[in-house]
A and B are shown apart, each in its own frame.
Chain A
Amino acid sequence: MKTLLFLLCAFAGSAFGQLAWDNPEQTFNSKPQDESVVAKYRFTNKGKETIKIQNVATSCGCTTAALTKTEYAPGESGEIEAKFTFAGRTGRQEKAITVTTSAAPQQPTILRLYVNIEEPVKIQPQVVYWRVGDQPDPKTIHIEVADDSPAKIASVQSDNPAVKVQLTEVKPGKEYEVQVTPASVTQPGAATVLIRTDYPRDNPQTKYVYVRIR
């Protein structure tokens, strides 16, 4: 039995002396107007010795992690504040913050930040293309307005008269389709489709879809 206790203590050693994290994995759902999220990872030193946080590294330049101080006495709590700036990212995002401490320098803790970034107006795809010699069949662009977004599609226009666009409302105020049809695909060409919204009211956003014939 003594041997068993020794083995248990030996293998369990790495589990002690670590910081205890309240919520090491956090999920956020962003609103259409949000540009970033801030997650706070609270921890407590459950060990018997002071722990020094040696390094906090993020998986992406888009995420910063701030720490008010680096040394924590037994029983003391603190938090790491991670800010993830969206900067054009959309959809589900996963970021990691790696925390290395003096208690277990070889076993860093990985904090996870999950964010579902909702776009006020989502356009898919952002490019439609034909190869030279293809049939000039129409291609469809899907536009989706987020549920809690007040945005509306004001107009859709092509900057090249040789490329026609037609807007159809699929689900009133929420889903649209744009049919893009080139007059000819016998030689290379390009166009930009401008999708104008009425949101935000003070500076309405215009989205772009690119047309290429290659």
Chain B
Amino acid sequence: MRALRQALLILLAALIPAGLTAAFHPRRPAWSEDTLLPGEVKLQTVLAWGSDVLWIDARSLKEYEAEHVPGAILLNLEDWEQLFPRFLDRWRPEEKIVVYCSSTSCELSHEVAERLKTNGISPVYVLKGGWEAWKNRK
């Protein structure tokens, strides 16, 4: 009985920091695959927006040339200085911008979206699941 009490105490002692981490840690993982990070949007939502969307492919030129969302334009950090003016030629202030990279785990789409926002361009969203989500759409 004493051992059980001690075990419960240890469990309780472990649960307190675990709970605090889950609630406040800046890099805590999402509870489920469906949870959206700030600025993210689901593919179904984007498709419901219709044609009023400018797709931005934040992957490499090689990946973009292999396959991309129809109408998407390439804008990545590696070639930002060359690609940004081309983006501006296509961009219209009233359009919603949706940035994607390879998959949920890649960071490039968030980085490109952030850089667009710091230049005063909005609204900018990141596609949850990236190119993988587009390819697996039903």
Contacts and interface: CB of A to CB of B under 8 A. Distances in A.
Interface of A: 1-4, 7-8, 59-62, 87-89, 124-129, 131, 190, 192, 208, 210, 212, 214
B77 A3 contact: no
Given A59-B105, A89-B77, A214-B92, A3 B4 contact: yes
Contact of A88 (B7, B78, B119, B121): B78
Contacts of B121: 127
A127 B77 contact: no
A129 B89 CA distance: 12
Interface of B: 2-4, 6-7, 10, 60, 77-81, 84-85, 88, 91-93, 105-108, 111, 118-121
9 contacts: A7-B3, A61-B108, A62-B77, A88-B78, A88-B81, A124-B119, A127-B84, A128-B120, A212-B88
Contact of B111 (A89, A192, A210): A89
B119 A59 contact: no
A60 B120 contact: no
B102 to A, nearest CB: 9
A8 B9 CA distance: 12
A125 B118 contact: yes
Tell which of B60, B80, B84, B119 has the most Cβ of chain A within 10 Å. B119
Nearest to B119: A125
A24 to B, nearest CB: 14
B7 A4 contact: yes
Contact of A126 (B4, B60, B77, B119): B119
B107 A126 contact: no
Contacts of B106: 59-60
Nearest to B6: A4
A61 to B, nearest CB: 7
Nearest to A87: B78
Given A4-B3, A7-B10, A129-B93, A60 B119 contact: no
Contacts of B111: 89
Contacts of A88: 77-81
A208 B93 contact: no
Given A60-B107, A88-B80, A127-B88, 8 more contacts: A4-B6, A4-B7, A88-B81, A126-B119, A127-B119, A127-B121, A210-B85, A210-B88
A59 B93 contact: no
A204 B107 CA distance: 32
Nearest to A128: B120
A87 B77 contact: yes
Contact of A125 (B78, B107, B108, B120): B120
Nearest to B102: A61
Tell which of A124, A131, A190, A212 has the most Cβ of chain B within 10 Å. A212
Contacts of B105: 59
Contacts of B2: 1
B85 to A, nearest CB: 6
